[in-house]
Amino acid sequence: MANLADSDLGGYVVSSRDITDRVEAERERRETRDRLAELADATDDVLWVFDSDWSELLFCNPAYENLFGRPVEELEGDPRSFLEGVYPPDRPVAREAMERLSNGEPTDQEIRVNPTTGYNRWVWVQGEPIRQDGEVVRIAGFTRDVTHRRRRERQLLVIDNFLRHNIRNQLNVVLGNVETLETDSEADAAERTALIRRAGETLLETAEKQREIVDILTERPRAATTHVGDVVEVAVASLRDRFPAADIHVDVADATVRAPSELQCAVAELVENAICHSRGDAPRVEVTVRTRGDRVELAVSDDGPPIPAPDRRVLLGDHEMTPVDHSRGVGLWLVYWVVDIANGQIDHEHDVDGNTVTVTLRRAE
């Protein structure tokens, strides 16, 4: 609507246009934007968009903070700061992927992230360059937590090696002694049957522990509030009955942690391992629990020889089994996976007095 420029004519100039399509299109865009925002806020995947040279963050949803252990505000201030949340040995892989994306090449890789959990979170990162007029103008992608799948893959590798090595060796003991009994009438039957029995018991124990591991990884237990004192008392009580010669000393502070109930299995395994590999006939094991700020340290000390290198690497989470490099049993793997699920950390020390394995867990509020 406007006044007329000609003074000799009275009235106004009025024009009308149908803008229904435009209003509806704008409403649809707002609704789509709102739905996408709701999806981005609800998903556990990290959705992100950067400019072509990684100098500006255009979008990142809140899931980033939980997965990488760093605030989104930090990423907005320095778009490349997400590299500080990547496991240092994996950072060259991430940088190479960034360069390839800037050059217009899609990428797909798996790396470890989150220093607050000891970099024990595996993520799948998929990126795609966005082009306009043949030039890369933005880079979009997502990052997904695949830690559980990596655990399952590792568990399958462990079991494969046990089936091909440890269990096969025990079965060779059984079959060899049975053959001796069948063919040698002068063989000492009592000694042979004792060897068969021990091999059978070892196989049964391995199968039972493997069942526990399968249950833990299949059911995907969630960290819950667990009272450490109760866990230690129950775990130690059964071992005192099984190993009456062992001196198990407990000194536990009153504390609760964020860990699955299977923590009891892990504690029992550490104490049993300490008893079975003691230097003498009267093993001494000490279990202590101390609080340090927002963390709880559960330590199991023994008087035994150093834990063998393959077993030590299992506990520390840096062991990849091969046909010629394997640990002695599945028990320590059970310990590692329980602590890993709880986002905890395991440390090991050895001196002239023996070993100390320390499990550090997050203290419950």
Are 242 and 312 found together in one domain?
yes
Instruction: Quote the pTM value.
Output: 0.59
* Same domain assignment for residues 205 and 270: no
Please tell me whether residues 315 and 235 are part of one structural domain.
Answer: yes
Nearby residues of 321 by Cβ (< 8 Å), 6 or more positions away: 157, 158, 161, 327
The SS3 assignment for 190 reads: helix
Output the domain CATH number for residue 229.
3.30.565.10
pLDDT tens for 24-51 read: 988 888 887 777 777 777 788 999 999 9
The answer to whether 71 touches 78, Cβ cutoff 8 Å, is: no
Tell whether 172 and 248 lie within a shared domain. Answer: no
* 323 is a domain residue: yes
**Cα first-last separation, the chain:** 66
* 64 and 135 fall within a common domain: yes
Distance CA 12, CA 70 (A): 61
Q: Which of 108, 143, 178 is the last residue of a domain?
A: 143
Q: How many domains does the chain have?
A: 3
What is the tens place of the pLDDT at every residue in 183-206? 776 667 777 777 777 777 777 776
Which residues are within 8 A (CB) of 215 and not within 5 positions of it... i.e. 6 or more apart?
A: none
| φ/ψ (deg, to 5) at 154 | -65, -40
Q: Which of 143, 177, 203 is the last residue of a domain?
A: 143
Nearest to 113 by CA among 142, 143, 140: 143
Are residues 196 and 234 located together in one domain of the fold?
Answer: no
**What confidence score (pLDDT) does residue 166 get?**
65
pLDDT at 208 over 90: no
Question: 158 and 271, same structural domain?
Answer: no
DSSP 302-335: -SSPPPPHHHHHHHHT----BTTB--S-SHHHHH
The CA distances from residue 237 to 3, 55, 227, 231, 241, in Å, are: 96, 59, 16, 10, 7
- Least confident interval from 3-17, 54-68, 227-241: 3-17
Written as six digits, the tokens of 347 are: 């440390």
Q: Which domain holds residue 286?
A: 221-365
Helix (H, G, I), strand (E, B) or coil at 110: strand
Cα 202 from Cα 199, distance rounded (Å): 5
d(C-alpha 100, C-alpha 196), whole Å: 59
**Run of H or E including 58:** strand 57-60
Are 186 and 301 found together in one domain? no
Q: Are residues 203 and 171 in the same domain?
A: yes
Q: Domain boundary at 220, 248, 267, which? A: 220
Same domain, 254 and 200: no
State the alpha helices, DSSP H only, in the chain. Answer: 20-42, 63-68, 72-77, 91-102, 147-161, 167-183, 189-219, 228-242, 263-276, 309-316, 331-341
Span 60-77, pLDDT tens digits: 998 999 999 999 999 999
Same domain, 116 and 153: no
| Confidence band, pLDDT 50/70/90 cuts, at residue 162 | low
What CA–CA distances, in Å, run from 61 to 46, 48, 76, 126, 141? 6, 7, 11, 16, 12
Closest alpha carbon to 258 in 228, 224, 232, 229: 224
- Residue 113 has a pLDDT of 94
Quick check: is 198 in a domain?
yes
